[in-house]
């Protein structure tokens, strides 16, 4: 099992910044990628960004140039730096870890952290 604990959400004005953290613990060996998803009220959960074990990153078009994912392997922590925030970024942000091992795919989720951007 992998445990993911997010922190860093909150209320910010449009144009402001926040940094989210996701600390992973437990059986983290062989994690292929970690990332962030978000879910706004009445909408489906969507991928925001991810980073692979090799360091490759992927971003949703809506956040490119504003959000940056990074990781600290020594701390087993992934970060999401969010700049130039917009009201449309308001959502619950979930940390995600994915592992494909011996043909078995497993996805882990954190509990989520609320991000609210006021106009």
Q: Token digits for 27?
A: 């059986």
**For position 38, what pLDDT does the model report?**
98
Q: Is the pLDDT at 5 greater than 90, yes or no?
A: yes
**For position 18, what pLDDT does the model report?**
98
Residue 109 · residue 22 · CB < 8 Å? no
pLDDT digits (tens, 9 = 90+) for 37-86: 999 999 999 999 999 999 999 999 999 999 999 999 899 999 999 999 99
Confidence of residue 29 (pLDDT cuts 50, 70, 90): confident
CA distance 63 to 29: 29
**For position 30, what pLDDT does the model report?**
87
**For position 28, what pLDDT does the model report?**
84
CA distance 54 to 119: 37
Q: What is the mean pLDDT of the chain?
A: 95
**For position 106, what pLDDT does the model report?**
94
Per DSSP, the residues of the chain read -EEEEEE--EEEETT--EEEEEEEEES-TT--EEEEEEE-TTS--EEEEEEETTS-EEE-TTTTTTEEEEEEGGGTEEEEEE-S--GGG-EEEEEEEEEEETTEEEEEE---EEEEEE-
């Amino acid at each position: 099992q992998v445990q993911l604990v997010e922190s860093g959400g909150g209320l910010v004005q449009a144009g402001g910044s926040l940094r989210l953290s996701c600390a992973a613990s437990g059986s983290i060996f062989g994690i292929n990628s970690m990332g962030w998803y978000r879910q706004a009220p009445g909408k489906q959960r969507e991928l925001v960004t991810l980073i692979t074990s090799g360091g490759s990153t992927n971003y949703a078009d809506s956040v490119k140039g504003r959000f940056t994912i990074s990781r600290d392997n020594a701390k087993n922590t992934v970060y999401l730096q969010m700049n130039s925030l917009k009201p449309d970024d308001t959502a619950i942000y979930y940390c995600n870890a994915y592992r494909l091992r011996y043909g078995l795919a497993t996805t882990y989720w954190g509990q989520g952290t609320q991000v609210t951007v006021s106009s």
